[in-house]
Structure 1
Amino acid sequence: MPRQFDGKRVRAVRRGKDLSQGELAAAVGVKAPAVARWESGTDHPKGEKLPAIAAALGQPLDVLFPHDGPPDLQLLRCDAGLSVADAAAILGTSRVPVSNAESGRRRLGDAYVRPLAEAYGVTEAELLAAQDCSFGIRPETSGDERASAPRTVGEKINYLLEYGYLDQDAPSNDEIVRRVNEHASGPVVTVEDIAALRAGATTEASEAVRAGLAEALQVDVAIFQDDAELNEEVREFLESIRFLKSIRGGQILGLAARGNGAGLSAEMMATINNLVGELKHKLPDVEDEG
């Protein structure tokens, strides 16, 4: 999955650092109007620009631009700050092998694995695992992966906002604050408090705030207890929503647009069909469309 980009958040962090749009643009290697478009939401930076943006703003890449799940080849390349052309130049080839591998059409030749892993700053095993993800092959859930489930209050807020809303807009920080304070019958939290929790700047939240968050986000209050992971049933349901949301948002079908236009590989299509079948029993019953 690609990293999440929030132009409003970038603008807030930039202003907090007393940087102008022109200064950020210069640090990233673009023109000031490009930064203005990013912050207004009319455009998004290329993935390979995100590490430079995070560095210029003094923020960890994973905090400013989070992503879900294991990395695929595209994410590894972008996190290394490289374009497809850059990666192809490292391999001494055209863009086709890189594009085909990233879009799940044709795997990298053996001779390309080591130099690309070195360029991306990962091991060959990590590169091959990312290639599997690009082909729609998901790794088995491990204890380490379960341990990485959202634990802090902020991580849980971000998780629920990102994947818990399919056909409606997720509430803004302002809306969350309003609902929490209404539930508490008084001002127990501010917009700045919620922003700090979501950014990981703080992990402290009173019982009143935790209870209000559960009410605001329509989940059981137990989810917001200290170090309480989402239970397996809730995680499976939200994972189902995440998967369907990615289809509706074009993130899976959009893979067909990468590369030479040949479309998704048969292997990836089979994987998607299997996943849809697995998820049917986890979703609320719906009437078949006639």
Structure 2
Amino acid sequence: MPARHFDRTVVRAVRRAAEIPQAGVGAAVSAAESTVAGWEAGSSVPDQEKLPGIARVLGKPLDELFPREDSPDLTDLRCDAGLYRYEVAKFIDTKSDGPVAAAESGVRRLKPKYVPKLAAAYGVSEKALEQAQERSFGNVVEEAGDASAAAAEAEEHPRALGEKISFLLAHSYPAGAAPGDGEIAEAVNRHAGAEVVTANEVEALRTGVGDADSPDPVVLEGLAEFFGVERMYFEPDEAVARQVYQGLRVLLASRNGKIGRVRARGLGPAGLSPEVLSLLTDLATQFEKQDGSADNE
């Protein structure tokens, strides 16, 4: 966690300049005078959750008194709101803080219904909360030559089936070499062993026309086989789609030499779930085989 920096000498100087006694600071943040004295002496440091209250009582902006170098994750947003984790259950109407604890630890994402409630409690936008959640899962990718990591992490992931197909077509093939709707339809039909989709229907899936977001399962299976991805990539589950999309971005950027670094702060060596890491391994093997075949031609 990119915790805020607590400088005891700065805090002591600011407090003395404002002529506020240690007892006054302690009363503002529910701490004993001796505890505040310990902070200023360097024998202990305050919880991150107490820093907003200290900044308020000393009359200084939080970012100025306790700077933080990196962008916040979910834990940081909660601490910036001055809330301990056990206090957040009431904001999302749950009996425990389990959902928030799991999201902060990079284990399980927040349910969509919790996002606006937590955003309001933390005093941030829903978009800022969702971006912080991605950081908690270690899925922020910085590409070489990109002057703004925030732009990369704020990039919208594909949601609709047509957007997912278009993403694969745009990123998995050299310019001008992407397969057409007819070729995709033929591959899906070969997989099914029968004509289950036409070129026109593939075009409808790709462009989102009509009932394109709910094709037969066998069509989704054929698409997954054709593009070399797991079937779950085409499922409507937002959490699954987001994880796979992040994984594909990592793999594709890596193949193009564009990865600067992947900040891992969740589970697994790259902050991704075991399922997605397995998917990346399979895809990497498949790409290596394809590259080897190309070299021999």
TM superposition score normalised by structure 2: 0.49
Flag the structure with larger Rg.
2
